[in-house]
Structure 1
Amino acid sequence: MNENDLLPVPLLAAVVAGFGLIIGSFLNVVIIRVPEGRSVVTPRSACPTCGRPISGFDNIPVLSWLLLRGRSRCCGERISLRYPVIELLTAVAFAAVVVWKGWSWEVPGLLYLAAIGIALAVIDYDVHRLPNAIVLPSYPVAAALLVLAALGEGRPGALVGAVVGCVAMYVFYFVLMFVYPSGMGFGDVKLGGVLGLYLGWYGWEEAVVGGFAAFVLGAVVGIGAIVFRGATRKSMIPFGPFMLVGAWTGLIWGARLVDWYLGLSGLR
């Protein structure tokens, strides 16, 4: 089937955004329950204040929060703005991936990365931890989706890059953890391997920029926290969110940034 016979990309993006709202609602459950070691399947969602089960009508992504004016129907307590924000963020991220890649075999893998990235970034911010329950299954899932993309697009060589990227990023972060254990956790090491799979699949430019951008972003935010919020060099700032944003920077702009730099320096 020719892609011209399928949905136009803008309409596809709208459909995927709707799917993203549903996934975002599920991510809210993941973000709360996984760090506590609870099942994300049972029991059903309940009011965080009084514990009463939430009806399906009151659990519609974003819309229910707006209709309830940000308050629980059962006890009237405020519902955190974080819930609809995460749902909207997931929808926007999913739509952006489709707008960026269109009808591509790469999209499923990138949507998966977007979903786990949002969950891991928020969890790391909350509890300074990247749970194995999310990170470890991401290895086989991401690998399977990248194999699908490589076969679908006729790029089997990209799988070699994915393996090299995975090993290189894992070893790199492992060495950093060994040298500076107070600033790097083993969760960062394991996440590095997952991100290396994606960055290596796309190419060395993406991998270099993706890895470097994480530290640039971390440094900028760290300096800002010291200057504007009174943080110190010993303040604990989770690094996972910077790794994730850095990886997306590499995936989207890595090749262009390397070309720009090489052209500017006269090396290309």
Structure 2
Amino acid sequence: MENLFYFYLFAAFIFGLIVGSFLNVVIYRLPRGKSVASPAFSFCPSCGQKIKWYDNIPVLSYLILKGRCRHCGNRIGLRYPFVEILTGIASVAALWKTGLSIDYIFVFLFLALMIAITFIDIDFKIIPDEINFIGAVSGLIYSFFRTDFSWIDALIGAAVGAGFLFGIAYFYLKFRGIEGLGMGDVKMMAFVGTYIGWFGSLFTIFFGSLLGAVVGILGAYLSKSEDKGRFEIPFGPFLAFASVIYLFFGETIKSWYFGG
């Protein structure tokens, strides 16, 4: 039985690699306003040539081609296999947490969307509405399959997460006169709240803000820019990381906070 579970973990990793390959398409096309579905084939970002199936095997093809396009020879970013491997690990982590159940589907979807949000926000400092919408709807649907979490909890979590972050953004803009947070972050917290509830949302905002502040201070200090006060970093990746921490260790965190 134990050997069978390890086989499932291996299968989950391979499945994650495949999903990671698709996430690379999403990360590249969605923020550029391109269709994720059309064209259905992958193409080289440099020369636009169609990538054959045997050159599109996750990680393996990258290693065989030594990170270069077969047609033009231009280098393909290391991020592509990194996203694939990271998604493979996320798939294994989801299965390890949930076992072979319907929970795996939703937990892995949450992690996959967080990966997409992270890399899109790093590159473009935006979080596409399409991702937040899919995440929020999936979280609400998931609540009907859970025994520890109702659809009311999901809605309250979305309201608290989005509402609290919107309040921070509003007062930051009002008193400092500059936009400190984008509405993409607010909508993201509505999505996150449908999965981890009101307490998880507050933890995500607090812990994500703490991480962001530390990285921001270090980045501003190390930045060569003359206007260090205007050093900007995307907030989405920190919210994503904090939400994943709570997704896996939420019960422990909540128990510790309330003195359990």
State the TM-score, normalized to the length of structure 2. Answer: 0.89
Letter in 1 for 2:189: G
Q: Tell whether the 8 Å contact from 1:205 to 1:250 is kept in structure 2 after alignment.
A: no
Deviation of 1:109 (Å):
1.1
1:70 counterpart residue number? 67
- Measured after TM superposition, the shift of residue 89 of structure 1 is 0.5
Hey, what's the Cα distance between the residues in 1 that align with 2:63 and 2:79?
Answer: 13
Q: RMSD value over aligned CA atoms?
A: 2.0
| Runs (4+) off by over 6 Å | none
**Runs of 5+ unmatched residues, structure 1:** none
Q: Does 1:100 align with 2:94?
A: no
Moved more, 130-139 or 46-55: 130-139
State yes or no: 1:143 paired with 2:137. Answer: no
Q: Does 1:198 align with 2:192?
A: no
Deviations 1:55-108 (A, max 9, x none): 011011100000101111111111111110000000011101111222343221
Residue 212 of structure 1 corresponds to 206
**CA-CA distance at 1:9 after TM superposition:** 2.9
- What are the residue-to-residue correspondences of 1:79-118 with 2, within 5 Å? 79-118=76-115
Find the counterpart in structure 1 of residue 156 from structure 2: 164
Partner AA of 1:159 in structure 2: W
CA distance in 2, matches of 1:207, 1:134: 18
Deviations 1:8-66 (A, max 9, x none): 33221211111111110011111111011111111221111111111011011100000
Letter matched to residue 23 of structure 2: L
Q: Which of residues 211, 223, 227 in structure 2 aligns to 1:229? A: 223
Q: Residue 134 of structure 1: CA displacement? A: 1.7
CA distance in 1, matches of 2:209, 2:234: 12
Contact 1:206 / 1:253 at 8 angstroms: preserved in 2? no
Kindly provide the amino acid, as one letter, of the partner of residue 211 in structure 2.
L
Map 1:233-244 → 2, pairs under 5 A = 233-244=229-240
Deviation of 1:167 (Å): 0.9
Give 1:142 shift: 2.5
CA contact (8 A) 1:16 1:95 kept: yes
Q: Give 1:230 deviation, angstroms.
A: 4.5
* Identity, % of aligned positions: 37
Matched, 1:8 2:11: no
Query: Secondary structure in 2 aligned to 1:22?
Result: helix
Q: Is the 8 A contact 1:50 1:75 kept in 2?
A: yes
Structure 1 residue 236: deviation in Å?
1.6
Aligned position for 1:50: 47
Matched with 2:169 is 177
Over 3 Å counting, the alpha-carbon distance change for 1:146 and 1:230 in structure 2 is: farther
Is 1:24 the equivalent of 2:20?
yes
1:195 counterpart SS class:
helix
CA distance in 2, matches of 1:227, 1:174: 28
Distance 1:69 1:221 in 2: 33
Deviation of the 1:199 alpha carbon: 1.1
Shift of 1:177: 1.9
Q: Against the structure 1 CA distance between its residues 234 and 226, is the aligned structure 2 distance closer, same or farther, given a 3 Å change threshold?
A: same
Unaligned runs of at least 5 residues, structure 2: 174-178
